[in-house]
Amino acid sequence: MGDARLIDRPIVFATKAAEVLARTVDTLTVLTTAGLAGSYRALAEADGPIPLEGADARLGGDGSSARLLAMGLAHVLPHDPPVLAAAAPVPALEAAMAQKQHDLNAQYDIIARAQREAVQIRQLADRQAQEATRHRLARVLTDSDDIAALSNTIGTAATEEHLTLETFRYDLPLTRSSAQPPTAASIARGVRHRSIYETKFLSDPVGAAILERCAAAGEEIRLLPRLTVKMKLTDGLQALMALTPTGSSVALHLTSPVVVDALRHYFELLWREARPLTAPPPSSGAVEERERQRLGIAALMRQGLKDEAIARRLGLTSRTVRRRISEIMDELSAETRFAAGAEAQRRGWFDEPGE
């Protein structure tokens, strides 16, 4: 029996060594490239060191041995002729991690410099824009390419919000590429994108697909039967408003604080009247349940309960409660929860039937 265990030991060692090599190669693939990791595997699995001359042919192609040496994944032994040997797994991984950290630090430095430069460029651009707006608070655009470019980019640099009014009127047939959904970077910055579309979008297959794509990207969408103008407004600082039904040939770019604020107020009035983009109209039972939730949440808000307490009391999720509260405050045009409770009381939400 003792002899059998001794015979089995090399097999166990070989199995564990193969596992170590496999995991090392997998990690090297992440830290470097699949090609370099494959060259390391070929060298490590060779029957001992291989002649340096002609090593590339065995390791995957021209420059393979040089890349392994440069990364510290192999070393040359001073034989005659010289031979190439693979670094042990642990030193190989340590060398690759050190190089990766160096590369990441270099990339971070590049990004940091770019961020500083971007801040300076933005400050310069802002100063130039301020100088321009002192003399010109409104600019009429008549070049269709200029209008399209501004329409596509006016919201990309938003820091707080981007608002859109979109009529169903176009010079060219609507295509899926006509959609202008929020960018992932904008959503990640916490920018709120709200848009009101004409309901005609829903009856058009391409229009419905555009709404679906924009909603999936994070845009809040509401619908109205009719809109009179196309408009885009960013951060309460600038607006682009169509001066023709389609807006493709003549548009007005506004930076006047007074006018932009008035347009934002106009948007908010429409937003309160518009209905959210949802699934098909709910059944009467669902409507009654939603109304019960709305009144229950409003009553508990008036009592000063927090979101979590309201959720527990009504058997709802905190997320649902927060969404309902946002809808209630929009409906009541209230800036605070206290103001919402007072306005709900004034409107008779809590009156008993027949009172």
Quick: pLDDT tens for 84-107.
Answer: 888 888 888 888 888 888 888 888
Residue 194: C-alpha distances to residues 108, 228, 264 (Å): 34, 17, 12
The amino acid at 213: R
Quick one: 186 and 199 in the same domain?
yes
Residue 355 domain-assigned (yes or no): no
Residue 8 pLDDT more than 80?
Answer: no
- 336 inside domain: yes
Are the CB atoms for 177 and 214 separated by under 8 Å?
Answer: no
Among 83, 101, 135, the domain boundary falls at 135
Using one digit for the tens of pLDDT, what is the confidence trace for 308-319?
Answer: 888 888 888 888
Q: How confident is the model at residue 333 (pLDDT cuts 50, 70, 90)?
A: confident
pLDDT at 10: 57
Least confident segment among 117-121, 217-221, 335-339? 335-339
Query: 214 and 237 share a domain?
Result: yes
Q: Are residues 223 and 198 in the same domain?
A: yes
Q: Are residues 316 and 334 in the same domain?
A: yes
Give the end of a domain, one of 94, 120, 135. Answer: 135
What pLDDT digit, counting tens, does each position of 162-180 carry?
A: 999 999 988 888 787 778 8
Mark which of 135, 162, 184 sits at the end of a domain.
135
Q: Is 108 helix (H, G, I), strand (E, B) or coil?
A: helix
Q: Across residues 231-241, what is the average pLDDT?
A: 90
Q: Is residue 352 part of a domain?
A: no
Q: Could you give the number of structural domains in the chain?
A: 3
Query: Are residue 114 and residue 181 in the same domain, yes or no?
Result: no
Q: What is the CATH number of the domain that holds 316?
A: 1.10.10.10
Entry pTM:
0.46
Query: Angle 257-273/318-331 helices, nearest 10 degrees?
Result: 110
Closest CA to 251 of 260, 241, 259: 241
Q: Are residues 39 and 124 in the same domain?
A: yes
**Tokens 């047939």 label which residue?**
173
**Count of CB atoms situated within 10 Å of the CB of 129:** 13
Q: What is the pLDDT of residues 39-70, one digit of tens each?
A: 888 888 888 898 988 888 888 888 888 888 88
Q: In what order do the strands lie in the sheet with 74-77?
A: 50-51, 83-86, 74-77
Number of H helices, E strands in the chain: 14, 11
Question: What is the identity of the amino acid at 143?
Answer: D
Contact in structure between 269 and 252 (CB atoms under 8 Å): no
- Same domain, yes or no, for 188 and 289? no
Residue-wise pLDDT tens digits, 120-156: 888 887 777 666 655 568 888 888 888 888 877 787 7
Q: Which domain holds residue 247?
A: 138-276
User: Is the pLDDT confidence value at 82 over 80?
Assistant: yes
Residues, the chain: 355
Rounded CA-CA distance 299/316 in Å is 15
Based on the domain organization, do 40 and 75 belong to the same domain? yes
pLDDT at 323 over 80: yes
